[in-house]
Structure 1
Amino acid sequence: MKKQLLTIAALATIALNVRAQNNVSALEVIKKDTVMQKDTVVKKEPFAFGDFTWLNGNDRRHKALLDTKYFTGRFLLDFNYTASNNNPIDHTVVGSTALARDHEFEISTIAFGGDFHYDNIRASVLTQFGTRATVVPRNDFSVTRGQFDLATAYRYLSEANAGYHFDVLNGINVDAGIFMSYIGLFSYYNAENWAYQPSFTSDNTPWFFNGLRIQIFVSDKLKIEPWLINGWQSYGMFNSQPGIGGQILWRPVEWAQVLTNTYYGADTQDKPGRKRFHSDNSIEVRYYKNKNSFINSMAFSVTGDIGFEKGDGVNGFHADPVKGPAQYFASGMIYNRMVMAKGHLGWTIGGGVINNPGRYLVLYPTGDANPIPAINTGATGSHPFSANPGDQFHGYDYSTSIDWMPNDYLTFRLEVVHRHASVPYFAGHGGVTSPDGYNTTPVPSNFTPDLVPSETRFIGALLVRF
């Protein structure tokens, strides 16, 4: 026993000598471990502190099904049937980016792709097929400048970008390519929205940008995102000046979001001196939550947009005898959402107003009422919808929607929406194409597109997102 004690004492003495030779004491080891713990700062994932699937314009899935270490897949299907009380004979929907065909089954969107992630490298690719591959590019008139048919080159891509993630603050992403715009709050993908037909504020503002963006996550609750882009929902550039802008997104608590977007650019053909400014601002609040009652949550969103064009013949908010008529955009919308039956039922009611003198953001009617030269033929409609400086346009809309959501990935939606304009704008029974509604029928000189000031539309939709 004595020998064993002596052996243990000897080993302890040797260990202390080794520590002494390396100038490392037990206390220093403890201090070093403490410093390492202090230096190891666990950065919080941006906006991961709460469940934000309740937001209008946000992904409502709690988990991505198609997820792997290096790739998270995405698949979307947007199928609808819509019917107007005007019953246009050419089955054409006027004044909407969400819809194209009337009294028909329609695949608005089918998209597949996903997000790549390896170390700090990131990329997103999402295709775009269906009527939106035609409806949305036709509203971008920058493609008529020059050659190589940008509308065809890009139309089958809704998102295509790549970049790098820097481990600074709570993360900084630098991306280049085509990416979604959330000016107007509503998402481009209807599976993320409270309503199917967006109000004027969303439908007349950009769905995409082409250029560069930097996402700066100052904290896990605040994002600042500057943009350098070709222009206002444009594949190309109208003049020599790129558009600039940005977004500030703040989610201080799980039940509230504050969002603001700003844009400045020159987006009128052959008018480089005409500058456009736009400010988009939204607040969303979930004011009730109870998982144990039939009504699970209630929330509202309020959006207000203000903007103008000034120079080269127009003068912003005030008409001037020399500088030109007023040309501005003022709009707002408000929606209320109720979710019930353990998240399986949803009811939304809302609407908005618009005032756009000069009509520079109003979606132009198609067919014989189209004022813009067609990309392939260069022809305009023989009775074009006017969009001259000073031309007035006032409108309002309201809608109600009922959703059945068996799970996070599928939505059945029924919606009724009424829209009204101060001028004849929506397709009437005679349509906007030809006397019999077919674009192969010659348009006689006495044909006039049948535009009416209002419509009531019934929409049924199947929305899938994996």
Structure 2
Amino acid sequence: MLSGNFSDQFTSDNTPWFFNGIRLQIYPTKHLKIESWLINGWQSYGRFNAMPGFGGNITWTPNSNLKLITNNYYGSDAAGIPDRKRFHSDNSLLYRYYNQPKSTKISRMAFSFTGDFGFEKGGGVNGLKNGGAENGPAQYFLSAMFYNRIWFAKNKFAWTFGGGVMTNPGRYLVLYPTGQASPLPNPDNPTQTEGAFPFSANPGDKFTAWDCSTNLDFMPNQSITFRLEYVHRQANVPYFAGSGGVTSQTGYSTSALDPNWKPDLVKTENRIILALLFRL
């Protein structure tokens, strides 16, 4: 993805992005890097089941304008459900299609496109298609996002815009909304959470969402950036914090709750962000 957003892209937030283990890097040429992974699991610091995770990365940069990246993983990540296997593929294209760094008008233009695909199969779910009562519902992840960035005035100003979509039946990669999940797992079903207001993550539960954002940067030098950004996000279920809050009436966990109170979650979110980023 292009570096140009203060807020992480929503689809990226809900995609596996860290692991713990061993990786081997090989550089067959100066333009090509190949990695192999032996890891505890994607999105897990500890190994949940007996099987380790396997994966790898290929990064190809044929020239200074183009970069292609693919990350792929297979393993058993569902805690306490060793029969459930997961595959995930994360792929990105970055392309700079205009570069005139000394221009006082448009000085540079580039875009990024990312597509993710994955699924879980076994242990009561059936990957890409509905398996009915015997094999369970479909449980997969699909997402795509596109961002374009234009620099102006010898790269002193920049404008970024773009957005993304995602669907994740079963919600196995969806971050739980604040106020609806307890850090303690349900001992009868490790894929679900407990608490007064648990976020449903039953096999087959639908979750679809999309987001868009735009921002304007002023970069007087390489060490400081002034940014004004607007972000819109939308989901098919109440997911984002509303004006009524998601903690308690007072904001303290020790406060007694009104029995009629519940977290105020809404289906849409809008943010206007003013940020100052600097490098010492």
Alignment TM-score > 0.5, same fold: yes
> What SS is found at the alignment partner of 1:305?
strand
Please list, as runs of the form range in 1=range in 2, the aligned pairs for 1:143-182 lying within 5 A after superposition.
Answer: none
Question: Does the alignment pair 1:393 with 2:207?
Answer: yes
- The equivalent residue for 1:337 is 149
Deviation digits for residues 190-211 of structure 1 (CA, Å, limit 9, x no counterpart) = xxx2112222331112332211
Give the conservation status (yes or no) of the 8 Å contact 1:315–1:323.
Answer: yes
Distance in 1 (CA, whole Å) between partners of 2:169 and 2:279 is 38
Question: Does the alignment pair 1:304 with 2:115?
Answer: yes
- Give the CA deviation at 1:289: 1.1
Deviation digits for residues 165-221 of structure 1 (CA, Å, limit 9, x no counterpart) = xxxxxxxxxxxxxxxxxxxxxxxxxxxx21122223311123322111111111110
Distance in 1 (CA, whole Å) between partners of 2:198 and 2:182 is 4
1:302 partner amino acid: F
Please list, as runs of the form range in 1=range in 2, the aligned pairs for 1:28-177 lying within 5 A after superposition.
Answer: 56=2
- The equivalent residue for 1:439 is 253
Distance in 2 (CA, whole Å) between partners of 1:359 and 1:306 is 14
Give the conservation status (yes or no) of the 8 Å contact 2:144–2:164.
Answer: yes
Please list, as runs of the form range in 1=range in 2, the aligned pairs for 1:243-262 lying within 5 A after superposition.
Answer: 243-262=53-72
In the alignment, structure 2 segments of 5+ residues that lack a partner are: 186-192
2:106 to 277, 287, 295: 295
Distance in 1 (CA, whole Å) between partners of 2:117 and 2:268 is 24
Question: Does the alignment pair 1:270 with 2:80?
Answer: yes
- Give the CA deviation at 1:258: 0.8
Give the conservation status (yes or no) of the 8 Å contact 1:364–1:371.
Answer: no
- Give the CA deviation at 1:409: 2.6
Q: Which has the higher contact order (CA 8 A, sep 6+)?
A: 1
- The equivalent residue for 2:189 is none
1:327 to 139, 142, 153: 139
More moved, 235-244 vs 449-458: 235-244
- Give the CA deviation at 1:371: 4.7
- The equivalent residue for 1:383 is 197
Calculate the TM-score normalised by the size of structure 2: 0.92
Question: Does the alignment pair 1:197 with 2:28?
Answer: no
1:223 to 33, 38, 43: 33
Give the conservation status (yes or no) of the 8 Å contact 1:303–1:334.
Answer: yes
> What SS is found at the alignment partner of 1:395?
strand
Distance in 1 (CA, whole Å) between partners of 2:65 and 2:53 is 33
Distance in 1 (CA, whole Å) between partners of 2:279 and 2:53 is 32
> What SS is found at the alignment partner of 2:219?
strand
- Give the CA deviation at 1:450: 1.0
- The equivalent residue for 2:124 is 313
> What SS is found at the alignment partner of 1:434?
coil
Deviation digits for residues 284-310 of structure 1 (CA, Å, limit 9, x no counterpart) = 111111123221100111111010000
Question: Does the alignment pair 1:348 with 2:167?
Answer: no
- Give the CA deviation at 1:341: 1.6
- The equivalent residue for 2:243 is 429
2:20 to 207, 210, 217: 210
1:417 partner amino acid: V
In the alignment, structure 1 segments of 5+ residues that lack a partner are: 1-54, 57-192
- Give the CA deviation at 1:240: 1.3
1:313 partner amino acid: G
Calculate the TM-score normalised by the size of structure 1: 0.56
Give the conservation status (yes or no) of the 8 Å contact 1:308–1:327.
Answer: yes
1:385 partner amino acid: F
1:296 partner amino acid: S
> What SS is found at the alignment partner of 1:306?
strand
- Give the CA deviation at 1:363: 0.6
Give the conservation status (yes or no) of the 8 Å contact 2:16–2:173.
Answer: no
Q: What do you get for the CA RMSD once the two structures are aligned?
A: 1.6
Q: 1:238 to 1:194 in 2, by over 3 A?
A: same
- Give the CA deviation at 1:460: 2.0
How many residue pairs were aligned? 271
Q: Which has the higher helix share?
A: 1
Distance in 2 (CA, whole Å) between partners of 1:330 and 1:422 is 15
Distance in 2 (CA, whole Å) between partners of 1:434 and 1:239 is 36
Give the conservation status (yes or no) of the 8 Å contact 1:371–1:385.
Answer: no
